[in-house]
Structure 1
Amino acid sequence: MIMAAIEDLDDKNGSNKSAILNQIEATHPNLPAAAHATLLSHHLNRMTETGQLALVKNNYMKPDPNAPPPKPKTPLPSVTVVSSPRPRARPPKAKDPFAPATSPKKTSSDHKTHTTNSPSICK
């Protein structure tokens, strides 16, 4: 359908996606319009990658039969570099084995709250 629409449009500079879409909808009125636009985009991209269509300035056209075939894209070699993970914070200080043991610090939940009606006043 796509190739027939491009041939029917017969534009020397190629046909854009909306012109191809309108031509297909005019030729085949029974196609579902909602899914057709996304399917057309998918198939145009796939046909461009395989070399069935040429894309020049957002216009699709049939490739020149005398042109050399497109070079297949080679994927980049996947080289995994194993690096040591970066520490998240400063390393803890080394503990002195001869230092006296210290009592744990009081937290805010350990403190008692004073009310204004209590007889003892803290100064």
Structure 2
Amino acid sequence: MATEEVNKPSSHPQYSEMIFAAIAALNDKYGSNKSAISKYIESQYVDLPAAHSDLLPIHLNRLKESGELVLVKNNYMRPSPNAPPKRGRGRPPKPKVPLPPGHVSSPPKVSRPRGRPPKPRDPNSVPTPKISSGRPRGRPPKKAKPAGAAATAKTGPPRPRGRPPKVRAPFASAGFD
């Protein structure tokens, strides 16, 4: 029973056609807002889907993004035919100059690696062998202490980590008995 309702063809046209018809019928100089378009569509077409209030803004935004509608002060209108086309964001690409016929293109440039280029090697110099001191580079690893070494070296438990707590001096009598 539920599949019959889903598969039933709708008797209303597509949303874009209904929106264009609503804007043309309302014929407002400054365009029509979303609620006026919705009321007109609801009055003209009886069997709209239950999600009409959710579908209408989606279709209005899609038409606005494609340039078929213009949004001016929360009013939708058709763009004027002599208006300049809407530019995208960012810098426009440079126009490509067509190559003359018979021109052979050169292979593409190889990009340089990042960073500073290495110094040129002197062909007359003799390479010097690297001398190692026997020690590895860097800081040596920390030596592990035996498990009970800290407690046996001093009397008492090992010191806790962090800064020691502040010691407050005891109050002295002020001499008022």
Q: TM > 0.5 between the two?
A: yes
Give the CA RMSD over aligned residues.
2.6
Structure 2 Cα separation of the partners of residues 71 and 40 of structure 1: 26
SS of equivalent residue, structure 1 residue 97: coil
Cα deviation per residue 1:51-104 (whole Å; 9 max; x = unaligned)?
100000110011111101111346xxxxxxxxxxxxxxxxxxx9742644338x
Quote the sequence identity (%): 55
Correspondent of 1:51 among 53, 57, 67: 67
Structure 2 Cα separation of the partners of residues 98 and 73 of structure 1: 61
Structure 2 Cα separation of the partners of residues 98 and 21 of structure 1: 77
Unaligned runs of 5+ in 2: 1-17, 91-139, 150-156, 158-177
Correspondent of 1:16 among 33, 49, 52: 33
Cα deviation per residue 1:14-37 (whole Å; 9 max; x = unaligned)?
1000000000111111212x3111
Aligned to 1:116: none
Structure 1 Cα separation of the partners of residues 144 and 45 of structure 2: 89
Structure 1 Cα separation of the partners of residues 76 and 53 of structure 2: 15
Structure 1 Cα separation of the partners of residues 45 and 144 of structure 2: 89
Unaligned runs of 5+ in 1: 75-93, 106-123
Higher relative contact order (CA 8 A, sep 6+): 1
Is 1:97–2:143 an aligned residue pair?
yes
TM-score by length of 1: 0.60
Moved over 2 A (4+): 98-103
Structure number with larger C-alpha Rg:
2
